[in-house]
Structure 1
Amino acid sequence: MDLILPDWPAPASVFSAQSTRGGGVSPAPFASLNLGAHVGDNPANVEANRARLAACLSLPSAPVWLEQVHGTRVLTLPDETGNLTADAVVSRTPGQVCSIMTADCLPVLFCDQAGSVVAAAHAGWRGLAAGILEATLQAMAVDPATVLVWLGPAIGPGAFEVGGEVRAAFITHSSLAEHAFMPVGNPQDDKWLADIYQLARLRLIAAGVRQFYGGDYCTHTDAARFFSYRRDQATGRQASLIWLE
């Protein structure tokens, strides 16, 4: 199975992993390790793929698969499992696997230096602009200066074209966000290339985070390794996972 193990100095009590599209049983257009049950794939294939991932990583528990809606709700596990509509998940419980799914949106993994709390967040541009990363940090309830962040595979700055309303949403929050957008075509078209990695770092720095890793992928251009909704429309989902020993 083709997995990415985040390259970051997480404490020994913290385990993390990033799936790619390789190593599953789903046929095209979900080939092959699709982990999303909401994309039109055969449910039996999704369950088989999830079982393969769990076995490969020797997961201590079944991941809680969120119903992601590009919002700012953060789920705390294992206390809150009734309503799974959320875009981030936090845990202080050893063996509790936190997971989120993406296919162009930015997956963000968090842990503290003490190895006492972990979190995973799904940050599309809407959730990012609304404050999902700040909400996740608040739910972790530790000093942000002690938090390590890994930015997983997302659509890269050369492929993420957006309209002026997206740029305005971020610049309204901070003028520094202007540097994360490059104009495309004629000025009257109001089209921009957005760097979602830079936008995430700016939000996290403003919240007090100082330690960043990852952030050098592009799901849109790397079709061999990653699902991309913007590229393919009908496609699967990869997962980012983190847990405490």
Structure 2
Amino acid sequence: MIIDDFIKPDWPAPANIVALATTRLAPAGLVGASGGAYASFNLGDHVDDDAASVQQNRAGLLDVCDGLQSIVWLQQVHGVDVHCASGASPAPIIADASITAQSGLACGIMTADCVPVLFCRLDGGQVAAAHAGWRGLCAGVLANTVKSFDCPPQELMAWIGPAISAVHFEVGAEVYQAFIDNFGAVSAEQITQAFTPSVQRAGHFYADLNALASAQLQKLGVAWVGSSNMCTFADANRFYSFRRDGQTGRQLSLIYIK
């Protein structure tokens, strides 16, 4: 659901958990500092946007999030490493997921089509965020994130934020085969159902990353799995999309203990 230009999960999380996804629109009460291809609330500092504008946007986000003191910023590399965070780092951590039990410290994932997944324990004691492009998803970043919690999967919930939808995400046969060969916990039948053959290009498929992520989380035993069901490619007014625009900004999905 959309609240003050944030996308927020409609999920049964504990009251001390705050989870949201930003958009390219500045939240209520703020003016986005980025312009041009990055207009207006770009939070990515690696996309050639003006550095001062990005920092202004990031500072504004901290100001409007109740109880948020700092964010764990990652240098995402489409890998499977999970960073266990106890405080903010002066430089981005090379990882594609983070987890923390520290209140006021947000785990955040920057995206412009890839799948962001937010996690929390049912008792509100830990939170995590994972970046699942197709490579990281296939290699096991979500499974690694689930394993990083101090509890079994049956005591977790997960929410899939805005990402590119299948109708806009065409891939080659090698992507389909990579999932068939390597995607843990998910059956070949479920994987095949998530890849729709292209009628225009032989050997190509439309890949449903949302369905693949959801299937794996459910197979891993996560107690509650939900999704925003919002497409970054289709909604140019609200979201950045790398596949649609090439040069573009990044939105952030974040979760923290208040």
Residue by residue over 1:179-224, the C-alpha shift from the partner in whole angstroms, topping out at 9 and shown as x without a partner, is 101011257x211001111100121122111311124110001101
The match for 1:211 is 224
Alignment of 1:34-183 (within 5 A): 34-78=42-86, 81=89, 84-172=93-181, 173=183, 174-175=187-188, 176-183=190-197
- How far apart in 2 are the matches of 1:95 and 1:87? 20
**Taking structure 1 as the reference length, what is the TM-score of the superposition?**
0.95
Alignment of 1:193-208 (within 5 A): 193-208=206-221
Q: Aligned with 1:158: secondary structure?
A: helix
Shift of 1:59: 4.5
The match for 2:9 is 6
Q: Is the 1:89–1:119 Cα contact (8 Å) retained in structure 2?
A: yes
Q: Is the 1:95–1:243 Cα contact (8 Å) retained in structure 2?
A: yes
**Tell me, which stretches of 5 or more residues in structure 2 are unaligned?**
27-31
- How far apart in 2 are the matches of 1:225 and 1:97? 23
- How far apart in 2 are the matches of 1:78 and 1:108? 20
Structure 1 runs, 4 residues or longer, greater than 4 Å off = 79-83
- How far apart in 1 are the matches of 2:229 and 2:109? 19
Whether 2:21 is the aligned partner of 1:21: answer no
- How far apart in 2 are the matches of 1:68 and 1:201? 21
- How far apart in 2 are the matches of 1:5 and 1:179? 28
CA 1:186–1:241 in structure 2 vs 1: closer, same or farther (change >3 Å)?
Answer: closer
Q: Aligned with 2:206: secondary structure?
A: strand
- How far apart in 2 are the matches of 1:25 and 1:158? 32
**Taking structure 2 as the reference length, what is the TM-score of the superposition?**
0.90
- How far apart in 2 are the matches of 1:222 and 1:186? 24
User: How many residues of Structure 1 are paired with residues of Structure 2 in the alignment?
Assistant: 244
Aligned AA for 1:72?
A: V
**Tell me, which stretches of 5 or more residues in structure 1 are unaligned?**
none
Q: Is the 1:197–1:215 Cα contact (8 Å) retained in structure 2?
A: no
Q: Aligned with 1:29: secondary structure?
A: helix
* Percent identity between the two aligned chains: 45
CA 1:17–1:186 in structure 2 vs 1: closer, same or farther (change >3 Å)?
Answer: closer
Shift of 1:55: 1.1
